[in-house]
Chain A
């Protein structure tokens, strides 16, 4: 039988363990936060001395002092626009289908399971998909057309894997699950009463979707799209696999041009043995992070504005 004093002793012990564990848990949180702070500090310290106007407006060079990331910046902006143009219609379309039309049957089930599984596929595997489909298959298809269409087309398309369009298609598949997920959540938050009100006024299904559901879901869809694009432009692995160029000294002018992108340029600089290029890499990272950060800030602003609106 336990006496009161034994219990009190034991309780004090238990509480002491609790205090120790509290600090263990707290320090675990701090590891993550300190990790983030040190990471950012290291990049700022290394990169800021290299930031300058000419760094943003010059092409890469073999000499670190003269190197800039204009071509990579242009490539990344191209990629962002093309990828969004490809993903948004398909992603929103799929989300509308799954939320508003899909019957409960095995096909819908397969689509659902498949979507959650696709989100876990490593990005390099999407690169291999792009390599096999967009590069080798399309390359082959045009090889046949060569005799009919002439040398020019042949020249352009054998390098299809090195084009912006091939990269954007690959990245579009990569972020499609994210856009679909975000769009579905946005569509789901539209109250059913809104739909019923529109139906009661005689609208048909598509009119309800276009006139009622989509307008109130658009902020959520936009937020999700921005986040998906910030994932896409940070990826280097898939575009390396499909054969992106590493050293580019021009600005692409069409989707069928070759390109390089910020993460690729950073990778290129990091992998050089000379110390100066590490500084360039850090400066490149700062530019990339500033872009990502402003995209995320934009997404948060959108979400906040949207939340205020529904409160009205």
Chain B
């Protein structure tokens, strides 16, 4: 009873107008603190995601490495985790991953860079405004669609050229992946070239350089850090790409450099095992965390390298 009377008095009693104002202020101060912490927690979730990724991958990979030595894992050349006799050498998966990514890079880097040069240095504004978003559609197409395209369109054509090629092969997946990552290279490279100041170009023109000389000898070197970073990020994307290679590149872990053969990438292996009937918690199941850890470290290293290149070699004008 007394407490209710007290609150009544505080709310509108003899103290006049001051208490309500005072009260509102105090609750506002608490409120703003709470809000700030809630928002901070939201921002922290992204950091917790990284911590979660590292912890969950590495802790389960650790239980795998109790059974299989890291050295055997990293240097072994036979990958047969489900078949007897079991063998856990990851090199065939790494080789398959790098083979596909290499083919994709061979397609996407020159084409993407040329596209960027054309858009930044040659194309009139109107063309650029149409071509750029059109190419970016390529980046928005789900990767299962590319897998379908590689398997049902590109592979039959390639089979006409190489009759002894297998249905699932690294070449078809790599070529299509190359097309898929063109916009990554071209957008980032073009951004870097557009950022090169007009005055540098004008100076070169004034010295009598032709347009391609300005493009290749002035603009490209000046934008090199951004271009190299776009290359690195695109390759990192190719290494982590999953559905396309699962559908089109095959499921045969093989240490080979022959793009006409069926291979298996690290990502495709993870999908294959996830779809299978291997019980959770078994040694066979933990292989996906060991492979996942390696994949994560590879892409992380490339992404960090990309950021470092931008930071270290950026020309500021």
Q: Which residue of the partner chain, among A128, A236, A281, contacts B143 with CB atoms under 8 Å?
A: A236
- In the complex, are the beta carbons of A90 and B45 less than 8 A apart? yes
Q: Which residue of the partner chain, among A32, A110, A243, contacts B47 with CB atoms under 8 Å?
A: A110
Compute how far the CA of A28 lies from the CA of B179 in the bound complex, rounded to whole angstroms: 11
- In the complex, are the beta carbons of A29 and B131 less than 8 A apart? yes
Residue of A with least CB distance to B50:
A114
Q: Which residue of the partner chain, among A124, A263, A288, contacts B240 with CB atoms under 8 Å?
A: A124
- In the complex, are the beta carbons of B299 and A120 less than 8 A apart? yes
Say yes or no: A204-B28 contact (C-beta < 8 A), given A25-B122, A133-B56, A267-B144. yes
How far, in Å, is B215 (CB) from chain A's closest CB? Answer: 8
Say yes or no: A136-B148 contact (C-beta < 8 A), given A177-B46, A230-B140, A296-B140. no
* Interface assignment of A166: CB less than 8 Å from any CB of chain B: no
* Interface assignment of B65: CB less than 8 Å from any CB of chain A: no
Compute how far the CA of A17 lies from the CA of B211 in the bound complex, rounded to whole angstroms: 10
| Tally of contact residues, A, Cβ under 8 A | 84
| Tally of contact residues, B, Cβ under 8 A | 89
- In the complex, are the beta carbons of B134 and A33 less than 8 A apart? yes
Say yes or no: A32-B38 contact (C-beta < 8 A), given A38-B153, A97-B43, A98-B43. no
- In the complex, are the beta carbons of A28 and B42 less than 8 A apart? no
How far, in Å, is A246 (CB) from chain B's closest CB? Answer: 7
Residues of B within 8 A of A42 (CB): 149, 152-153
Residues of A within 8 A of B114 (CB): 24-25, 28-29
Compute how far the CA of A125 lies from the CA of B64 in the bound complex, rounded to whole angstroms: 17
Interface flags for B110-139 (1: CB within 8 Å of A; 0: not) read: 111011011100110000000100110110
- In the complex, are the beta carbons of B122 and A180 less than 8 A apart? no
**Number of interchain pairs (Cβ within 8 Å):** 251
Interface flags for A4-35 (1: CB within 8 Å of B; 0: not) read: 00000000001101100110111011011101
Q: Which residue of the partner chain, among B47, B179, B280, contacts A114 with CB atoms under 8 Å?
A: B47
- In the complex, are the beta carbons of A31 and B210 less than 8 A apart? no
* Interface assignment of A185: CB less than 8 Å from any CB of chain B: no
Residue of B with least CB distance to A47:
B148
Taking CB atoms and an 8 Å cut-off, the chain B residues in 197-221 that contact chain A are 210-213, 216
Compute how far the CA of A210 lies from the CA of B278 in the bound complex, rounded to whole angstroms: 50
Residue of A with least CB distance to B213:
A14
How far, in Å, is B222 (CB) from chain A's closest CB? Answer: 18
* Interface assignment of B260: CB less than 8 Å from any CB of chain A: no
Q: Which residue of the partner chain, among B53, B117, B131, B142, contacts A234 with CB atoms under 8 Å?
A: B142
* Interface assignment of A123: CB less than 8 Å from any CB of chain B: yes
- In the complex, are the beta carbons of A94 and B140 less than 8 A apart? no
Residue of A with least CB distance to B127:
A29
Residue of A with least CB distance to B42:
A93
Residues of A within 8 A of B141 (CB): 39, 234, 289, 292
How far, in Å, is A8 (CB) from chain B's closest CB? Answer: 12
Interface flags for A44-88 (1: CB within 8 Å of B; 0: not) read: 001000000000000000000000000000000000000000000
- In the complex, are the beta carbons of A22 and B110 less than 8 A apart? no
- In the complex, are the beta carbons of B239 and A122 less than 8 A apart? yes
* Interface assignment of A205: CB less than 8 Å from any CB of chain B: yes
Interface flags for B36-61 (1: CB within 8 Å of A; 0: not) read: 10111111111101101100110110
- In the complex, are the beta carbons of A111 and B47 less than 8 A apart? yes
* Interface assignment of B225: CB less than 8 Å from any CB of chain A: no
- In the complex, are the beta carbons of A25 and B118 less than 8 A apart? yes
Say yes or no: A29-B119 contact (C-beta < 8 A), given A39-B141, A122-B241, A234-B142. yes
Residues of B within 8 A of A270 (CB): 144, 147-148, 151-152, 247
How far, in Å, is A226 (CB) from chain B's closest CB? Answer: 12
- In the complex, are the beta carbons of B42 and A123 less than 8 A apart? no
Interface flags for A86-121 (1: CB within 8 Å of B; 0: not) read: 000111111011100110000000110011111011
Compute how far the CA of A240 lies from the CA of B144 in the bound complex, rounded to whole angstroms: 12
Compute how far the CA of A236 lies from the CA of B28 in the bound complex, rounded to whole angstroms: 46
Residue of A with least CB distance to B41:
A93
The interface-forming segment of B3-11, B72-80, B82-90, B288-296 is B288-296
Residue of A with least CB distance to B267:
A124
* Interface assignment of B242: CB less than 8 Å from any CB of chain A: yes
Taking CB atoms and an 8 Å cut-off, the chain B residues in 146-196 that contact chain A are 146-149, 151-153, 179, 182-183, 186
Residues of B within 8 A of A93 (CB): 38-39, 41-43
Residue of B with least CB distance to A36:
B138
Residues of A within 8 A of B137 (CB): 36
Residue of B with least CB distance to A161:
B280
Residue of A with least CB distance to B29:
A204
How far, in Å, is A293 (CB) from chain B's closest CB? Answer: 9
How far, in Å, is B116 (CB) from chain A's closest CB? Answer: 9
Residues of B within 8 A of A18 (CB): 210-213
How far, in Å, is A218 (CB) from chain B's closest CB? Answer: 17
Say yes or no: A97-B40 contact (C-beta < 8 A), given A118-B50, A237-B271, A282-B148. yes
- In the complex, are the beta carbons of B152 and A46 less than 8 A apart? yes
Residues of B within 8 A of A (CB): 28, 31-32, 35-36, 38-47, 49-50, 52-53, 56-57, 59-60, 110-112, 114-115, 117-119, 122-123, 131, 134-135, 137-138, 140-149, 151-153, 179, 182-183, 186, 210-213, 216, 233, 236-237, 239-243, 246-247, 267, 270-271, 274-275, 280-281, 288-289, 292, 295-296, 299-300, 302-304, 306-307
In the complex, 20 of the A-B residue pairs with CB atoms within 8 angstroms, ordered by the A residue number, are A22-B212, A28-B112, A29-B118, A32-B182, A32-B183, A42-B149, A92-B42, A102-B43, A122-B242, A124-B295, A127-B270, A128-B56, A132-B60, A133-B52, A234-B141, A237-B242, A271-B247, A282-B152, A285-B145, A292-B141
Known: A18-B212, A32-B183, A136-B281. 8 other contacts (CB 8 A): A28-B111, A29-B119, A32-B138, A115-B46, A120-B303, A129-B49, A230-B140, A292-B140
